[in-house]
Amino acid sequence: MTDLTSPVAPPPTAPTTADKSQFDSSSARKQWQVIARRFLRHRAAVIGVVIFVILVLFAFLGSAFWQYSYTDLGFTRYENPTANHPFGTDRLGADMVAQIIRGTQFSLQIALVVAFLSTLIGVVLGALAGYKGGWVDTAISRFIDLLLVIPGFIIAAVLVRNSFVATATGGGSSNWLVVALYLGLIGWLSIARVIRGMVLSLREKEFVEAARALGASTSRIIFRHILPNTVDVIIVNATLAVAQAVLLEAALSFIGLGVHSPDTSLGLMISLNKNELNLHPWLFLIPFVFIVLISLSVNFIGDGLRDAFDPRQKRVKA
């Protein structure tokens, strides 16, 4: 196949002395720089990073710097936002800023665990199925097909319900990790399929054949040769999975089948305040804005990453 040289990517400049080797290892470093540069050119993606970092700092470090704690309940209830309580107070008289800090923290925690878990399982199983082929592939693929027949959301809801039964008598046990685990367990299906497809085609490439011929073991081939070529897709997918997880957890909490006290999450907060839109809109709107900020910023980052790894430009042959 002829080389398509896009006018955008400059071919190596002609060396002034005839001796400079073209196989400089610095060209590998340059690839990451190129990707980083392309990413930074995406204004939206950069804004996304900034917002996300601010949110993370806010969620995890905010409580150390904010004057009130989420357990302080003594304030006047339903107070509109004031200088003292920039986010107002809720129906129990707790300061909303503290609540939001905590809620954001939980939402982020859950989302990150879910994304990590589903990506990990998905990549491992997908790569295994794609590389090994044969009965391993068939078993995993059929299993995925089977799981896809039931919407994951519903599987998660059903499973999470179990963690409630014990708490029906009141008091409560923390179940955010359980929710995160279940969501992670249902979220790996699509990434597994994608990775499987990629590994299947990468497996046939000549460089894998070459590695085999040199005596490389299966795991070495998978980890050192095949997976690095899938890293782009994995990173983009993992990023988008975070955004999806935030929304999914919020939805579960809304219908009452997600986290519950003593844990909280932005979704739960919205759900608890769903009737306040008319009289005390900030109780609903502020957690809503925060969820949207998390989701938007992560989506922007994911989009920026996707473009940075594989820009869509009109290519013209020279």
Residues making contact with other proteins (CB under 8 A)? 1-5, 7-8, 10-16, 18, 22, 41, 145-151, 153-155, 157-159, 161-162, 164-165, 168-169, 243, 247, 250-251, 254-257, 267, 270-271, 274, 277-278, 284, 288, 291-292, 295-296, 299-300, 303, 312, 314-318
Helix (H, G, I), strand (E, B) or coil at 305: helix
Cα separation, 259 vs 174, in Å, equals 8
Decide if 293 contacts 250 (C-beta within 8 A).
no
The nearest distance, CB 242 to other proteins, in angstroms, is: 12
Give me the least distance between CB of 126 and other proteins, in Å please.
Answer: 19
Least distance to other proteins, CB of residue 193, Å: 12
Least distance from other proteins to the Cβ atom of residue 162, Å: 4
- Cβ closest to other proteins, residue 184 vs residue 208: 184
**What are the tokens at 95?**
């300061």
Q: Which is nearer to other proteins, 25 or 278 (CB)?
A: 278
Question: Do 203 and 229 touch, CB atoms closer than 8 A?
Answer: no
| In the complex, minimum distance from the CB of residue 298 to other proteins, in angstroms, rounded to a whole number | 8
Smallest CA-to-CA distance from 102 within 60, 145, 152, 132 is with 60
Rg of the chain over all Cα atoms, to the nearest angstrom: 24
CB closer to other proteins out of 13 and 219: 13
- Give the separation between CA 10 and CA 282, rounded to whole angstroms: 53
Q: Which is nearer to other proteins, 226 or 241 (CB)?
A: 241
Helix, strand and coil content of the chain, in percent to the nearest 5, comes to 65, 0, 30
Q: Which is nearer to other proteins, 127 or 185 (CB)?
A: 185
